[in-house]
Chains A and B, each alone.
Chain A
Amino acid sequence: MAMKIGTDQFKERVDKGIHNSFMRGAVAGAQDGMGIKRRLATEELGNWEDWRSHGEEIRQHVLKYLDYYLEQLSENVAKRGGHVFFAQTKEEASGYIRSIVQKKNAKKIVKSKSMVTEEISLNAVLEKEGCEVIETDLGEYILQVDDHDPPSHIVVPALHKNKEQIRDVFKEKLGYTKTSKPEELAAHAREMLRKEYLSADIGITGCNFAIAETGSFSLVTNEGNADLVTALPKTQITVMGMERIVPTFEEMEVLVSLLTRSAVGQKLTSYITVLTGPREELDVDGPEEFHLVIVDNGRSNILGGEFQAVLQCIRCAACINVCPVYRHVGGHSYGSIYSGPIGAVLSPLLGGYDEYKELPYASTLCGACTEVCPVKIPLHNLLHKHREIIVEKEGKAPISEKLAMKAFGLGAASPTLYKLGTKMAPAAMNPFTVGDKISKGPGPLKAWTEIREFPAPNKERFRDWFKNRDKGGK
């Protein structure tokens, strides 16, 4: 799977999303539930805003000195006997991993959850190589079993499915015979997965934060699957976006706290695993060989530019969980594995405006995303920045809109024209007005009045009332 999902156009995707009542029920329920948990977990700290500022500061610092920390990280990984590979493109990244697979003659690969491996289409590349690739995160596993249904959320990938749908998938694909109880479904997946860990040749993980000072990397999970992925296979490959670094354990602790509270409303997740290099002499488990693949894939183009703040992201999905647009259209409508507000900012940067030009407009700029972001990414401002570029640099806005906005510019800049325009409005709207409302409007009002009434312009504008009142000695 690549970053892009599906072949439908934006409008078709949205239409499908809106008409998928199962998905919408699941998403609304999840948003409401996670919203409450997040609020409690953040308020509990008593000074959440200070935490956010601290998180922002750490992320900004790392981005500013990213070259330094990348060098420090790779030196320290090498010192501990690991291999580091810098991949400029997704092809370089997946190509390097394929070469390891070939060298090891690997047939079975177990994976823990990783968005960046989705971004570089890793599973498809390895499957083409004849490997069996098994996702071990429960959500990802469900999607994989369901004929590679794409993820609709960066933290809860199968959010769009309810437990009955999952039971049906398991029944059809895995011969499952029990009920839709989450415990029974999870137990079945666990049983299926256990033997895979034991027989896998390679384990592949993502990375929440790499720690430059020690050459370690951390994984934040609730299922413990990542621990088996990293403990059992002889070879381990960890893939990370190049910006996912912290200087030391001290900063990691702050960011993990921000992450778990923002993502799932937990103080800590069940497992927070930190690993350093391959197995050492006295270790009882762990891989014999360790590779760290650091992926650029467009990130260095973002660095130093007006969108740099998006690289502060720690992939908690709090913005997705509060987004009122995501709530109604679901993750697949974004056409990218990165959905919601963060996806609407990131996807056009990594995948281009041709593919994702609608996403920056799929927002009311209500600011809910910016308000919850634990590292203070000004998400709604970045969405606006995209719009500015689409209009002014890319020239991708519709002609009719451009003309209307040009007229707006002229009219609004001249009080005389503006006054004339607003004075003429009631007459201009008269053919469309019934009583005090417009039910079938022309031009841009058409889309408005398809779903709601629009008020007819007042016969006496406020300014006329005020003027007349002044004249009449008030």
Chain B
Amino acid sequence: MKVTLFATCLVDLFQSNVGKATVELLERLGCEIDFPESQVCCGQPAYNSGYVKESKEAMKQMIDTFMDAEYVVSPSGSCAFMFHEYPHIFKGDPVWEPKAKKLAEKTFELTQFIVEVLKIEDVGAKFEANVTYHTSCHMTRLLGVKKAPMILLKNVKGLKFTELPGKEQCCGFGGTFSVKMSQISEQMVDEKVCHIEETEAEYLIGADAGCLINIGGRIERIGKPIKVLHIAEVLNCL
């Protein structure tokens, strides 16, 4: 199966390990990976801050980039959801709305793609550690992907899973919220870190680089012995 990777700007620039793990994992599951070089950012930071005009330029670039893809897969629920928002954002635009619809229909978040399209629930991974999982808001609430990451994690050999208390609560990232309202963001991420500590997990796993950079950055600053991994990295461990 041919998969066109939408790596996301955060992964491209700051978390290349997540991109690598995603490629290796999908190849192991029998996919052929393509990465179009003309991909940029999905436009979410500008869009969510209210700069709709500016963000639309990025969106058009992305729509054109992925036009010929069969499946678009992203290791981020939030960015994949952004592609799903494009048809609403371009509503009424005779040129871009239909194109945006096509893109949305073939775009999947990584774990969603593995479970729903590839129909694989056990990727054969092995990861011996105590872990907990952060359910990111955009992926669960807006994209509606709740079960896929849980199904995949529960089938990882050696993995001991503890549910995160208050898991449905936002970690305080929120894109530019984290800098515009940094004082409030700090309180939110602190509560999240407390909950993670309560689980006594060695690893916090998540499926969105934004949340993980936020939570991980706070964990590092206050010096907690908890490691942060993207779910692609865990599923790629053999």
Interface residues, chain A, with chain B CB atoms under 8 Å away: 14-15, 18, 324-325, 327-329, 361-368, 370-371, 384, 386-392, 397, 401, 405-406, 408-415, 418-419, 422, 425, 437, 439, 444-445, 447-448, 450-458, 460-463, 465-467
Residues in B whose Cβ lies below 8 Å from that of A418: 40-41
On whether the beta carbons of A413 and B179 are closer than 8 Å, the reply is no
A463/B7 in contact, CB under 8 A: yes
Q: From B62, which residue of chain A is reached at the shortest CB distance? A: A412
Which of A324, A367, A405 is most buried by chain B, counting CB atoms within 10 A of its CB? A324
- Is residue B185 within 8 Å, beta carbon to beta carbon, of the partner chain? yes
Evaluate contact between A363 and B177: CB separation under 8 angstroms: yes
List 10 additional contacts besides A364-B177, A447-B178; criterion CB under 8 Å. Answer: A14-B184, A364-B174, A366-B174, A392-B53, A397-B49, A408-B45, A415-B61, A447-B182, A451-B221, A460-B16
Contact A415 B187 (CB under 8 A): no
Query: A15: which B residues are within 8 A, CB to CB?
Result: 183
Residues of chain A within 8 A (CB-CB) of B45 are 408
Docked pose: A447 CA to B53 CA in angstroms: 26
B40: chain A residues at CB < 8 Å are 411-415, 418
A367 x B137 contact (CB < 8 A): yes
CB-CB under 8 A from A466, the residues of chain B are: 19, 23, 35
A462 touches B20 (CB 8 A): yes
Chain A residues lying within 8 Å of B49, measured Cβ to Cβ, are 387, 391, 397, 401, 405
**Cβ–Cβ < 8 Å partners of B16 in chain A:** 458, 460-462, 465
With the chains together, A413 CA to B65 CA distance in Å?
11
Q: How far is the CB of B172 from chain A (nearest CB, A)?
A: 7
CB-nearest residue of chain B relative to A455? B14
Contact B13 A415 (CB under 8 A): no
User: Cβ of A365: which chain B residues have Cβ within 8 Å of it?
Assistant: 48, 174-175, 177
Whether the Cβ atoms of B48 and A387 lie closer than 8 Å is yes
B188 touches A (CB below 8 Å)? yes
Chain A residues whose C-beta falls within 8 Å of the C-beta of B183 in the assembled complex: 14-15, 18
B185: chain A residues within 8 A (beta carbon):
364, 451
Between A and B, 27 residue pairs with Cβ closer than 8 Å are A328-B184, A362-B181, A365-B48, A366-B138, A368-B137, A391-B52, A405-B49, A405-B51, A406-B54, A408-B41, A408-B46, A408-B51, A408-B54, A408-B58, A409-B53, A412-B46, A415-B40, A415-B61, A425-B13, A437-B220, A439-B221, A444-B179, A451-B218, A452-B221, A455-B15, A457-B13, A463-B7
Given contacts A419-B37, A463-B35, contact A453 B220 (CB under 8 A): yes
Chain B residues in 8 Å Cβ range of A329: 184, 187
**A interface SS class:** helix
Docked CA distance A391–B176 (Å): 14
**Is residue B39 within 8 Å, beta carbon to beta carbon, of the partner chain?**
yes
Interface of B is mostly: helix
For A17, give the chain B residue with the smallest CB separation.
B184
A419 to B13, CA, bound (A): 10
Nearest CB in chain A: distance from B111 CB, A: 19
- B168 interface hit (Cβ, 8 Å): yes
Bound-complex Cα distance A445 to B187 (A): 18
Interface size on B, residues (CB 8 A): 66
Bound form: Cα–Cα A401–B176 in Å:
10
The 6 A-B residue pairs with the shortest CB-CB distance, nearest first, are: A364-B174, A409-B54, A387-B50, A452-B217, A412-B58, A413-B57
* Nearest CB of chain B from residue A178's CB, rounded to whole Å: 35
The one of B46, B60, B181 that contacts A405, using a Cβ cutoff of 8 Å: B46
Q: Does B129 interact with chain A (Cβ within 8 Å)?
A: no
How many Å lie between the Cα of A348 and that of B218 in the bound state?
33
Q: Which residues of B contact A (CB under 8 A)?
A: 7, 9, 11-16, 19-20, 23, 35, 37-41, 43, 45-46, 48-55, 57-58, 60-61, 65, 137-138, 141-142, 168-170, 172-189, 191, 213-214, 216-218, 220-221
B23 (CB) vs chain A CBs: closest residue: A466
Chain B, Cβ-Cβ closest to A457: B13
Provide the residues of chain A in CB contact with B7, threshold 8 Å. Answer: 462-463
Q: Are B179 and A366 in contact (CB under 8 A)?
A: no
Within 8 Å CB of B220, what residues of A? 437, 452-453
The reply to whether B14 and A448 contact each other, CB–CB distance below 8 Å, is: no
Q: Which residues of A contact B35 (CB under 8 A)?
A: 463, 466
User: What residue of chain A has the Cβ atom nearest to residue B185's Cβ?
Assistant: A451
Are B181 and A361 interface neighbours, CB within 8 A? yes
Most buried by B among A328, A414, A452: A452
- Kindly state the separation between the CA atoms of A401 and B138 in the bound complex, as whole angstroms: 24
The answer to whether B217 and A454 have CB atoms under 8 Å apart is yes
**Are B57 and A412 in contact (CB-based, < 8 A)?**
yes
How far in angstroms is the closest Cβ of chain B from A323?
9
Could you tell me if B12 and A461 are in contact, using CB atoms closer than 8 angstroms? yes
B141 in contact with A367 (CB, 8 Å): yes
Complex Cα distance, B14 from A371, in Å, reads 31
A384 and B39 in contact (CB under 8 A), knowing A408-B54, A454-B213?
no
Residue of A nearest to B22 (CB): A462
Contacts of A361 in B (CB 8 A): 177, 180-181
**Which residue on B lies nearest to A389, using beta carbons?**
B50
